[in-house]
Structure 1
Amino acid sequence: MAEQFEVRGWPVVRLASSMVTVDVLPQFGAAITSVRRTADEFELLHRTPWGLPSRGVPQLSGTAETERYDVDPGGWESIFPNGGDTVTVDGADQGFDGEARISPFDVVELSDTKITMTTRLRRSPVAMTKIVSLTDATVTVTETVRNLGTEDRDVMWGSNLQFGAPLISKDTEIDCPAALVHPDATILYDSDYEDAMPWPRTPGRSSVINLRYLPEPGSENRMAYLTDLSQTRATITNRVLGCAVTLDWDADPWPYLWYQLEAGGTDGHPWFGTGYFLSLTPSSSWPAHGLHDARRVSASALKLAAGEERTARLSLEISST
């Protein structure tokens, strides 16, 4: 049976195959806080400096975004039913990146290489099932959502992975078969979401940026939205380390990919100039500024009909180069 233990009061379930080991927190959004090679404990995911918050300890009040970072351990999280900036729907604040990422899940099935968990959201009439399974060097997350309400609902849905050092460095290359890259108009104020360029180019503050190659720490941050993918795949390769990570996911309901690099350009909260990690988020919608902008900017909000059930899959495979 899978190993079980506690970290700061939170139950952790450790799944392991011969090639990959994964730590899952059922009671904290069913988040994955670690993905590492079994043989040498090589960690792929980014962890925040403050780590997992202690369970039951009071938190400071703040904006939705500030509170989101206060309890963010890093890793691999579900984004649902809102992405990015919080919005109000049916009188309820949906939270920065949505409610699912911190919802308590019940474990309904468990083995050495698979865990099935379920929850019912409180601010939306939605039931969610999340399955994490391992096969050799591949981790697969399968999410199913069901609208329990009597009315159709617009949602944003995605899966956010934060990759950190040593995988992420100036030696890292990103590849994705995307046709277009849309800049984030809230970061580049002289750009518009429609100022799209062919992959891997996007506008920067002073010149065009190549998203394929990562800069050194202390560089300009990057945020962009990849659309018109011929295949819903992305690969992170660090040839110096001899390691590659390939993401493969369902185009329906996740046709887009958010690309965000914290390269040390955030001088204030929460990174104070020390952040350096790459976030990739297969998603139903864009931009990452809440449901209302997904409707207004790209008409990409996902409609979940009353009683409808939808399933999405994302696989991560580790390989050598």
Structure 2
Amino acid sequence: MRRNWAARLRSVTIDGLRAVVLENERLRVTVVPGKGGDVVEFLHKPTDTDFVWLSPQGLRDPAHHLQGAADDVAQFVDHYEGGWQEIFPSGGAPSEYRGARLAQHGEVAGLPWDCAVTADSEEEVAVRLSVRTRRLPYRVDKTFRLRAGTAALEVESSVHNESDLELHAMWGQHIVFGRPFLRPGARIRLPEGVTVIPHETAVNPRGRRVRAGGPWSWPVVPADGGGETDLSVVPEPGAPGDVVYLTGFTEGWYEIVADVGMRVEWDAEVLPYLWMWQELGAWQDYPWWGRLYTVGLEPFAGMPTDGLARAVANGTALTLGPRGTRTLTMRAEVLA
């Protein structure tokens, strides 16, 4: 019997794509198996706050909009609706690995996933999503779970090497925050001991220096000796965008807090880096056209955003042995 109280599930259609809604007294989370298993809604009911940022171009079905001439950047960017994506087996720019050309942010974010209900009671609801990559021999499974009375989404993901070869991958959670939740002055909090690697340093280790920061601020020191940038405070609209990489997590968590906040926890042994991407409206050309005010805080295995081949070369890529499996647990909880 369908419920409209406690923990419950609904199947809906959004812009022609099948979606599943996990809901309880405090949260409503909408997942789109037909497009990457994307999370396109994370609504905290008591404050009417949706932590998912939605792109101006909206949700698009890649199967209907991809044309034969689409390039390997457009495959992700032209169908990016915001929200939260699973990124695998490559992250960032297009890359080639062992003869396989991998598009922007890899394969699984643009593929349809199978979906099955694994729990449906007043106490908890859960759905399991699965997909196989097409260019590398991987399978990815992901379970979303919501328990009654909580403001926390629990996620367990596994990646499986279905070959008898040792293979590499970049694995990440593309979580991006924006308006109306995000505002200037919002704070980003991290554990003690986290340090910053600017993008220039990740690409060219002699590019510029980094000073370690504390739990609430991470000053970045440019090579020209200019002033420091406190990355723990979200800037005003129009500030320059940037990408940096955070590392040194003994515990995998961050908090981003405006009027309300979210705490994201993950297994830092599996994803030892946190990519921090800021696009605050300064980019006036394709693909953002000055319309973004966003901060991405993205746990990752591998860096920089130059694709799998670069991560293999610098030793940060994830390694999966023959028939090997790696599992990741995560939790995203509203702070109110």
| TM-score, normalised by the number of residues in structure 1 | 0.92
Distance 1:6 1:193, change over 3 A: farther
Which residue does the alignment assign to 1:225?
A: 245
Q: In structure 2, which of residues 302, 307, 312 is the aligned counterpart of residue 295 of structure 1?
A: 312
Q: CA deviation at 1:54?
A: 4.0
SS at match of 1:97: coil
Distance 1:16 1:300, change over 3 A: same
State whether structure 2 residue 91 is matched by structure 1 residue 83.
yes
State whether structure 2 residue 14 is matched by structure 1 residue 7.
yes
Runs of 4+ in 1 over 6 A off after TM superposition: 188-191
SS at match of 2:73: helix
8 Å CA contact 2:245, 2:304 repeated in 1? yes
SS at match of 1:133: strand
State whether structure 2 residue 202 is matched by structure 1 residue 182.
no
Which residue does the alignment assign to 2:74?
A: 66
Q: In structure 1, which of residues 117, 120, 140 is the aligned counterpart of residue 132 of structure 2?
A: 120
**Alpha-carbon separation, structure 2, partners of 1:303 and 1:105:** 24
Q: Deviations over 1:39-87 (max 9, x none)?
A: 3431111111001114643335444223321011110100100010111
8 Å CA contact 1:17, 1:38 repeated in 2? no
**Alpha-carbon separation, structure 2, partners of 1:144 and 1:306:** 15
Q: Deviations over 1:171-218 (max 9, x none)?
A: 3000112431000119x9998566222131124695321100011111
8 Å CA contact 1:184, 1:192 repeated in 2? no
Gaps of 5+ in 1: none
Superposition RMSD on alpha carbons, in Å? 2.1
Q: How does 1:9-24 map to 2 (within 5 A)?
A: 9-24=16-31
Code of the aligned partner of 2:135: R
**Alpha-carbon separation, structure 2, partners of 1:214 and 1:96:** 26
Q: In structure 1, which of residues 86, 94, 102 is the aligned counterpart of residue 102 of structure 2?
A: 94
Q: CA deviation at 1:232?
A: 1.0
Distance 1:191 1:210, change over 3 A: farther
Q: How does 1:244-259 map to 2 (within 5 A)?
A: 244-259=261-276
Which residue does the alignment assign to 1:209?
A: 229
State whether structure 2 residue 323 is matched by structure 1 residue 307.
yes
Code of the aligned partner of 1:48: S
SS at match of 1:113: strand
Worse-superposed segment, 164-173 or 212-221? 164-173
**Alpha-carbon separation, structure 2, partners of 1:31 and 1:181:** 28
SS at match of 1:197: coil
SS at match of 2:248: strand
Distance 1:36 1:169, change over 3 A: same
8 Å CA contact 1:10, 1:55 repeated in 2? no
Distance 1:25 1:180, change over 3 A: same
State whether structure 2 residue 271 is matched by structure 1 residue 263.
no
Q: CA deviation at 1:223?
A: 1.1
SS at match of 2:261: strand
**Alpha-carbon separation, structure 1, partners of 2:306 and 2:221:** 19
Code of the aligned partner of 2:253: R
Distance 1:63 1:319, change over 3 A: same
**Alpha-carbon separation, structure 1, partners of 2:85 and 2:204:** 31
Q: Number of residues paired by the alignment?
A: 315
| TM-score, normalised by the number of residues in structure 2 | 0.88
**Alpha-carbon separation, structure 2, partners of 1:33 and 1:252:** 27
Distance 1:154 1:47, change over 3 A: same
Q: Deviations over 1:116-138 (max 9, x none)?
A: 11122111111111101113100
Q: How does 1:51-62 map to 2 (within 5 A)?
A: 51-54=58-61, 56-60=63-67, 61-62=69-70
**Alpha-carbon separation, structure 2, partners of 1:147 and 1:301:** 14
Q: How does 1:164-175 map to 2 (within 5 A)?
A: 164-175=178-189
SS at match of 2:313: helix
**Alpha-carbon separation, structure 2, partners of 1:191 and 1:310:** 29
Code of the aligned partner of 1:300: T
Code of the aligned partner of 2:219: R
**Alpha-carbon separation, structure 1, partners of 2:220 and 2:163:** 40
Code of the aligned partner of 2:230: N
Which residue does the alignment assign to 1:234?
A: 254
**Alpha-carbon separation, structure 2, partners of 1:41 and 1:171:** 20
Q: In structure 2, which of residues 193, 199, 210 is the aligned counterpart of residue 196 of structure 1?
A: 210
8 Å CA contact 1:252, 1:312 repeated in 2? no
**Alpha-carbon separation, structure 2, partners of 1:203 and 1:34:** 36
Percentage of matched positions with identical amino acids: 25
State whether structure 2 residue 285 is matched by structure 1 residue 285.
no
**Alpha-carbon separation, structure 1, partners of 2:180 and 2:306:** 29
8 Å CA contact 1:17, 1:113 repeated in 2? no
8 Å CA contact 1:202, 1:224 repeated in 2? no
